[in-house]
Amino acid sequence: TDAGNHKDDQGKDTGVDDIDDALANAANTDNAMARLEELKEIADKFAKGDKYKGLQEGNEQKKAFDAASTAAGAVLDRAKGDPKDADQVNELYKDLLKAMRDIDPQAKSAGLKTDALKNEIESDNKLKPDTKANPATKGDSVYTTASKAKKDEFDKALNEAQTVLNGVKNADISTADKEAAEQKEIDEALDKLIKARLALDGVNTKPLEQQIAKDADIKKSVEYTKASADKKSAYDDALAAAQKLITDLTTPSADGSAAKFGNLTLDSKDAKQKALDAALKALSDAAKALDGKDTTPVPPSGDENPGSGSGSDSDSGSGSGTSTSTGNGVNKQNLINQINSTENPGGTNPGAVTPGSGSAGTTPGAPGAGSTTQGAGTGAVTPGSGSGAAGAGAAGAANAGVDNKAVNNAVENSPEVKQADAAVKQAAATLDEALAQAKRVAADPHATQEQVDAAAVKLADARKALADAQANAAKVRAAVRSRVIKGMRSRGNAGIATGANVATTGLMATMIAAIGGAFATRRMRTKHANRD
């Protein structure tokens, strides 16, 4: 199966591929199976009623009902379910309802199923900016940075879906055929809306915007204010380019032409993502390259000399350390504790690893390896520990009967997961900066109490922000994994505990075979596009 995007009648890229089709179709199949299951329960009770029992053996209506009920049961059977798509399942529903009403015109139906459509509409509305909300919302960059054509298609599908949903309360479902027609309209609206959302060619700009937001603090830092002219100029240029890119992505040009970033024309999702990645790397690298240093001389002796503390000030009894107070009464103990807790989460003796001793441990880096792997666990809060395996157990393994590789690829390619992982990386970088600043303040004998306290608060906040980002990434990954698994199986697929006595093992085998190959192709294409 080729995961390449489909073309329309004019040969234009639709932005939708085989995987998108499979997931949209699975949503409708899941809906149809739930509806058929509910009607089968009604039919089983109907078969115990007087209307049915009053029929003679060999009665044509009784035979038709028995056949329709048996066919529905075959699909819903947990162990031996026959594979059916949404249209086929809905046809079984219609046949069973017709057979029931041929016996009793007042026989109850399961009604129209609109939950999936309603939930999709509510979720998709949040992608769009809302200036009338209080407070106003900016929307999601996946929508705001999409091309006008894709946004127009999405808006149209969203409006049509809302119209269909609004009309349900007045729908005529007096006969099985009329109910089937109404349900088909609901299913088609859902299918169209899901595909329009998946076809949006916008990108997640949050990581770059977060880096840009650091500019105020960077401009106040010694690294920038005392940086060499070329380093400062390089940072300013990278910042200006990043800010312009955000503007170009979110503000359509007057003539409708696509803006450019370097040699990249921002006319496709891949090009936009490459531009974002390049801008973020350039800005981050330029910030790290700032070479300004504080030239304040350190006194040669006295209580203010970091690294000489051997009394009560060092909190270690003896040995090298950073004095917890200075001659002017500034207390650094809280700051030192924060530094030690960040670098040594295992609880080693603070006095032995205080800044200035030369034994502070490994330089903090990125968060634990697990912060960007699938799984429900969270890594260690402290960066650089290497023990934050959020993906321990490889996501706990998908439910039996589901292709783990296909599920994992779907999860890792999810915009929500990528955004959450980017937030973890950003939080880890922020913690690195806060830790470095805290060390400088701790080692500075002339630091004021206000500076010491501010550095301690900033470090504590950065640690909490990383922990929150890691926890959120785990939560997002778990939610996306659950949604993907649900979308890639029929409601009753064996091994997926939904609480419903439904199974479509054959359908899952067919879908997984198709989706698995499509995911493999998409993954390769994504890798070559440098989007990971």
| Per-residue pLDDT at 384 exceeds 50 | no
The pLDDT, as a whole number, for residue 300 is 46
- Report the number of secondary-structure helices (H) and strands (E) in the chain: 18, 2
State residue 477's pLDDT score.
86
3-state secondary structure of 169: helix
Residue 265 DSSP class: E
User: Residue 28 has what pLDDT?
Assistant: 79
3-state secondary structure of 274: helix
Higher pLDDT, 39 or 253: 39
Task: Give 355's pLDDT tier (boundaries 50, 70, 90).
Answer: very low
Residue 365: is its pLDDT beyond 80? no
DSSP 502: -
Nearest to 49 by CA among 107, 109, 93: 107
Element (H, E) at 260: strand 260-261
Q: Please state, in angstroms and rounded to a whole number, the distance separating the CA atoms of residues 477 and 484.
A: 10
Range 242-259 average pLDDT: 88
pLDDT of residue 317: 41
SS3 content of the chain, % helix, strand, coil (to 5): 60, 0, 40
Least confident of 50-54, 193-197, 329-333: 329-333
Q: How confident is the model at residue 406 (pLDDT cuts 50, 70, 90)?
A: confident
Q: What is residue 166's predicted lDDT score, i.e. its pLDDT? A: 97
pLDDT of residue 112: 95
Integer Cα distance of 496 and 485 in angstroms: 9
Element (H, E) at 281: helix 269-289
Whether the per-residue pLDDT at 182 is higher than 70: the answer is yes
Positive/negative CA dihedral, 165, 168, 170, 175: positive
Residue 343 region, left (φ>0) first, then alpha (ψ -120 to 50), else beta?
alpha
CA separation, residue 122 to residues 139, 230, 482, 493 (Å): 13, 50, 19, 27
Of 17-21, 76-80, 149-153, the poorest mean pLDDT is in 17-21
Under 8 Å between Cβ of 367 and 470:
yes
Q: What is the mean pLDDT of residues 16-29?
A: 69
Q: What is the pLDDT of residue 1?
A: 37
Q: How far apart are alpha carbons 241 and 126 in whole angstroms?
A: 29
Q: How far apart are CA 272 and CA 249, in angstroms?
A: 8
Would you say how long the chain is, in residues?
532
Res 453: pLDDT? 87
Please tell me the distance from the alpha carbon of residue 344 to that of residue 342, in angstroms, as a whole number: 6
Tell me what percent of the residues of the chain surpass a pLDDT of 70. 69
| 3 state SS of 143 | helix
Domains and CATH numbers, the chain: 18-198 (no CATH), 204-295 (1.20.120.1850)
Q: Tell me the CA end-to-end span of the chain in Å, nearest whole number.
A: 22
Among 96-105, 185-194, 496-505, name the one with the lowest average pLDDT. Answer: 496-505
C-alpha to C-alpha distance for 335 and 339, rounded to whole angstroms: 6
The pLDDT value recorded for residue 12 is 61
> What pLDDT, on a 0 to 100 scale, did the predictor assign at position 231?
96
Q: How many CB atoms lie within 10 A of CB 77?
A: 16
pLDDT value of residue 487? 67
The whole-angstrom separation of Cα 401 and Cα 112 is 29
Query: In the structure encoding, which two tokens stand for residue 47, read together?
Result: 């078969």
What pLDDT score does 14 carry? 59
Instruction: Look at 443 and 114; give whichever has higher pLDDT.
Output: 114
3-state secondary structure of 264: strand
Please report the pLDDT score of residue 225 as a whole number: 93
Nearest alpha-carbon partner for 405 in 317, 484, 321: 484
Spatial contact of 493 and 503, defined as CB atoms under 8 Å apart: yes
Choose between 75 and 345: higher pLDDT: 75
Mean pLDDT of the 454-477 span: 89
Region 435-439: what's the mean pLDDT? Answer: 90
Spatial distance between the Cα atoms of 423 and 489, rounded to a whole number of angstroms:
30
Residue 358 has pLDDT above 60, yes or no: no
The predicted model gives 198-203 an average pLDDT of: 93
Outline where DSSP puts E strands in 425-530. Answer: none
Q: What is the mean pLDDT of residues 286-314?
A: 60
Tokens representing 377 are 């666990």
Q: What H or E segment, with its residue span, contains residue 261?
A: strand 260-261
